[in-house]
Chains A and B, each alone.
Chain A
Amino acid sequence: MLLIHCPYCGARAQDEFHYRGDANVERPAPHAGQKAFYDFVYARDNPRGWHVEWWHHYAGCRRWVKIERNTVTHEIRTVKGPTQDTR
């Protein structure tokens, strides 16, 4: 089980969080068309290594945080608030 350093709450166990998925995808503009929305909803990379993901601290501050996690080792490099830059 991961130990996640929430920027608002400190170090908390993974079971306080819900996982959502890829935080690199951005919701397209309203008139971007079906293809753009299709990619937003369905198309995902499946990287081996570092990956930025949305996690929800539902049993804590209820913030959505962006976690940079290594999909091979489960290391966590950064945890950022919803509108903070990861890098």
Chain B
Amino acid sequence: MSAHRRLQGGHIDRCKRLTFHFDGRRLFGHPGDTLASALLASGIRVVGRSFKYHRPRGIMTAGPDEPSALVELRVGSRTEPNTKMTEVELYEGLQARSQNRWPSLKFDLMAVSGLFGNMISCGFYYKTFMWPASFWERFYEPLIRHAAGLGRATCLPDPDHYEAVHAHCDVLIVGSGPAGLAAARVAGEAGARVILCERDFLPGGGLLLDPAQEIWRKEMITALERIPDVQILLRTNVFGYYDHNLLGGVEQVSDHVPEPRPHAVRQRYRTFRARHVVLATGASERLIAFRGNDRPGVMMAGAALTYVHRFGIAPGKRAVVFTNNDSAYATAFALAAAGLDGVVLADVRRESRLAAKLRAHDVDVRLGVEVNGFGTDAVTLEAQSGGRNTVRADLLCVSGGWNPNVDLASQSGAKLTWDAALATFIPGAPAQAERSVGAAHGISGIGEAARDGLAAGLVAAKISGFGGGCLDFPLPALDGSCASIEPLWEVKTSGKAFVDLQHDVTANDIRQAHREGFSHIEHAKRYTTHSMATDQGKLGGLLGAAILAEARGETLEKVGLPTFRPYTKPAAIGALAGGATGKRFQPVRRTALHAWHLHNGAVMKPTGPWLRPFYYSAAAETGWAAVLREARGVRQSVGICDVSTLGKIDLQGPDAATFLDRLYINSLSPVAVGKCRYGLMLREDGIAFDDGTISRLDRDHFLVTTTTANAEAVLEHMEFYAQTVWPELDVSLCSVTDQWAQIAVAGPRSGMTLANAVEGLDLSNAAFGFMSVGEGRVAAIPVRVFRISFSGELAYEIAVPSRHALTVWQTILTAGQEFGIVPYGLEAMDLMRIEKGHVAGSELNGQTTAADLGMDRMMKSTGDFIGRVLSARPALADPSRPRLVGIRPIESGMPLRCGAHLMSKLGSGTSLGWITSVTQSIVLGHWIGLAMLENGVAMNGNTVYAVSHLHDETIEVVVSSPNHVDPENVRGRS
């Protein structure tokens, strides 16, 4: 069982044993293991089935480039599908299940049937399941989902917490290999604020694979930990490079423990704004396409080296190493040194400077030889000079060369350039303040990479203003190696040769895409789904491009690669949301009277970010009862309502009146000090924008209210015109929405109520008529009193500094007690404004003009105002446009429906308008509504049909004036 864990050394703590479960089997590993290394150490070879063909698959890599070894990790609400075993840090009690096998990993019916092998060719989504559309839901989709696919996500809520951290630094370094460490140290010692991110749980990158470098690695990390302004973030993958040197990453805080500690986060979403970025992201080894290159036992040569040196595992018993470059010689050497018998190295090149050295270590080096197939424990070798033979092997290590990890550089805007010597793309000239270093820049050799990183670190520190960096630490010796590669993308034989293992895309699929016209790299990618899986095509992306290039008869340089986009590897949605979930999704705004409302039975309703009382529920009240009671209380006596959420803007300055004249359609400069006026403003395109009251507090001092919904938009609009369009006007403006609470007191006995409460202000009709504003005191607190009315009743609004709102509110309640004062909410307010025919958001809906709302007579005839010119456009001035009207059902007792269409004939296909607002009228005793109706004024008194297709309802309604109650406004004025 544990025969594979027979080596010494590596970064494994053999003193501690960890127990874990894979497909129900109890297995063991050690701290320092990944799930992949622990499974390999346990001799587990097949770890999953493939996406489309259900072929058995094994572990191919040791990192995020893994295409095959995906598992469902953990159980219950923490289940995480499609997790790469190579990235899972082993912990005690870990549970994982293989994916995409039915009924079991060893015996998969889908693979046996072969049905899907022929059915699912490339582009199959587009071709096979086209018609009829109704089959999709019932037949095709369940079929495909059952046959193809990856792991299953949990439907339970995520029990974990996440948070977001935003950091600024001088130098951000991505990757902690030799280049990253050297860059971090030199920049840190120069005094720059450095953040070093490493996706792995151990820092060191390629240094972890070379025991000879262990002393230097440890020294460097110890030195970095001593520099106060250097922060090392392990388990932190930088997934995206955005504008102005902003990078995003996810730190896996608690993924290496069974579950997060109490109050600890699982993951931390991080953004970094850096003056300079050093990309030390290393390189990924690429596959070669040949028959059987996906079989269990195929492993990337660099991964095999990792398993030997970092994890102390021999990943097989007999090995063949297949390469077209020098790097895999280290793997063959390590495997031989690890005691594997008869290691064969098949090098496609006819010459190799390393061959003699390796032969001296008992490796059978064969030059000019290709692997043209891998079957059950047998590798078929074919010499270019002719002749073929079969070598027994359970491990086939492959190296097709190395691709610098250019994802982040490419995302930053840097163009990629073709490097013929390496047969790959490397980052070109930077578009932002960044530099790729080491293997990410196409440089091989640890000493070489460290020097490249050092140089970049010096530059980065200098650009950030820290010029004094000096080198006082040793660097690893130069390797002296040079790129020696003979490009080899595919060994052509019959049978399936894969270029994308996770999506089961073969070399033939790429050629088929080209034959069918999908010859652009971006088209071929989407048609075949090549490199669209969670591994982002790290193993075979360039392979697919090379095969496409060959089919097109063009160079790989010309064909290029598809665009690199975030994320470099999958990120949990929970991490991206951070803490902003549930009730923390957005801030809630509460008025100063919020607590009172809650204590007095208010049912609160969100309106934008605000919470407002919808109605106050008394015992045993159901349905509309509370709303009708509240409205009746206002109409018959007096009510009190919290209207603090109205936008309030304070305007001051000698030109404030002129400014307001230009903002609103009506004239405001004639308003006398101590008076208010209703105002309507348009957008520049002539459509109604917002309404409110304008109160003149002093000659050069106005207070303007806006609707709750438009408070911010109106302020921004005013600021734009004041600052940029009419900067010559001397006016200052400021939002005072939060500073002032506002309390409406409405009803025939509101005057008497306030007479009991307000001091220092004569509220008599003669002294303080309709649309007056003045200052007084309530409970010795200075207040502003406005005589304005939304309900149509005699009404006042009291503005009070927010911190005194409760005192004033309670004083008025006490003053109104003898009149049975009733607190009322949004719904009663809405009921009364519909009775009165006042417009609100349903009518001011971004489609209506002043004329549509019956307010064209308010427009001043001379002088400029916003929207004046374009509101006169023929289509907007057309008198037959839908205009605001009132409606009521012919048969009283019938309810009206908001959104119902108005039609002149039953069954007519032509809508003449629509119902905008409906309510039960307490004054009239039946339902009433407001509507927009073509030729609305002329239709007064006519009968039309209100048709709600949604409810399958049609009723007859009579058209009236929108002012259902008190059209002469006697109540408000008396």
Contact = CB atoms under 8 A, between A and B. Distances in A.
A20 interface: yes
Contacts of A54: 720, 724
A62 B719 contact: yes
A40 B246 CA distance: 35
B685 interface: yes
B719 A74 contact: no
Contacts of A58: 712, 716
Contacts of B712: 58
Interface in A14-46: 18, 20, 27, 30, 32-34, 37-38, 40-42
B262 interface: no
B864 A30 contact: yes
A83 B243 CA distance: 27
Contacts of B725: 27
Nearest to B713: A18
Given A1-B246, A34-B869, A56-B716, A40 B684 contact: yes
A30 B273 CA distance: 46
A33 B872 CA distance: 10
Contacts of B864: 30
A6 B346 CA distance: 62
A73 B430 CA distance: 12
A37 B273 contact: no
A2 interface: yes
B109 to A, nearest CB: 49
Interface in B672-723: 684-685, 712, 716, 719-720, 723
Interface string A54-85: 10101000111000000001101000001100
A1 B244 contact: yes
A67 B59 CA distance: 52
Contact of A33 (B245, B863, B869): B869
B905 interface: no
A71 B745 CA distance: 53
Interface string B832-873: 000000000000000000000000000000011000111011
A41 B868 CA distance: 13
B227 interface: no
Given A1-B242, A34-B870, A37-B870, A82 B684 contact: no
B723 A63 contact: yes
A41 B684 contact: yes
Nearest to A38: B870
B431 interface: yes
Contacts of A40: 684
A76 B243 CA distance: 11
A9 interface: no
B869 A64 contact: no
A83 B727 contact: yes
Interface in B309-338: none
Contacts of B720: 20, 54, 56, 64
Nearest to A23: B724
B873 A83 contact: no
Contact of A82 (B246, B431, B724, B873): B724
A28 to B, nearest CB: 8
Nearest to A36: B869
Nearest to B413: A73
A83 B727 CA distance: 8
A10 B464 CA distance: 17
Interface residues of A, number: 27
Q: Which one of A34, A37, A40 has the highest number of Cβ atoms from chain B below 10 Å of its Cβ?
A: A37
A2 B719 CA distance: 23
Contacts of B431: 73
Given A30-B864, A37-B870, A56-B719, A74 B727 contact: no
B684 to A, nearest CB: 5
A50 B248 CA distance: 27
A3 B273 contact: yes
A2 B684 CA distance: 29
Contacts of B242: 1
A63 to B, nearest CB: 7
B723 A82 contact: yes
A18 B244 contact: no
Contacts of A63: 723
Contacts of B873: 34
B694 to A, nearest CB: 21
A34 B271 CA distance: 48
Nearest to B684: A41
A62 to B, nearest CB: 6
A18 B554 CA distance: 46
A8 to B, nearest CB: 12
Contacts of A42: 685
A63 B725 CA distance: 13
Contacts of A38: 870
A38 B723 CA distance: 22
B719 A64 contact: yes
A39 B681 CA distance: 21
Contacts of B868: 30
A47 to B, nearest CB: 18
Nearest to A76: B244
Nearest to B271: A1
Contacts of A34: 869-870, 872-873
A62 B53 CA distance: 59
A76 B863 CA distance: 39
A64 B720 CA distance: 7
A64 B724 contact: yes
B244 A2 contact: yes
A13 B167 CA distance: 12
Contacts of B869: 30, 32-34, 37
A54 B271 CA distance: 26
A1 B244 CA distance: 7
Contacts of A33: 869
Contact of B870 (A41, A62, A73, A74): A41
Contacts of B684: 27, 37, 40-41
Contacts of A64: 719-720, 723-724
A83 to B, nearest CB: 5
Nearest to A33: B869
Nearest to A83: B727
B685 A74 contact: no
Contacts of B727: 82-83
Given A27-B725, A30-B864, A83-B727, A18 B685 contact: no
B373 to A, nearest CB: 49
A43 B716 CA distance: 22
B685 A41 contact: yes
A49 to B, nearest CB: 15
Contact of A2 (B243, B271, B872): B243
A3 B246 contact: yes
B238 to A, nearest CB: 15
A69 to B, nearest CB: 10
A27 to B, nearest CB: 5
Interface string B754-770: 00000000000000000
Contacts of A41: 684-685, 870
A43 to B, nearest CB: 13
A83 B728 CA distance: 10
A18 to B, nearest CB: 7
Nearest to B869: A37
A33 B869 CA distance: 7
A20 B717 CA distance: 11
A56 B870 CA distance: 25
Given A76-B244, A83-B724, 12 more contacts: A1-B242, A1-B244, A2-B243, A3-B245, A18-B716, A30-B864, A33-B869, A58-B716, A64-B719, A73-B413, A74-B244, A82-B724
Interface of A: 1-3, 13, 18, 20, 27, 30, 32-34, 37-38, 40-42, 54, 56, 58, 62-64, 73-74, 76, 82-83
Q: Which 3 A-B pairs have the closest CB atoms?
A: A30-B864, A82-B723, A3-B244
13 contacts: A2-B243, A3-B246, A13-B273, A20-B720, A30-B863, A33-B869, A34-B870, A37-B684, A73-B413, A74-B243, A74-B244, A82-B723, A83-B723
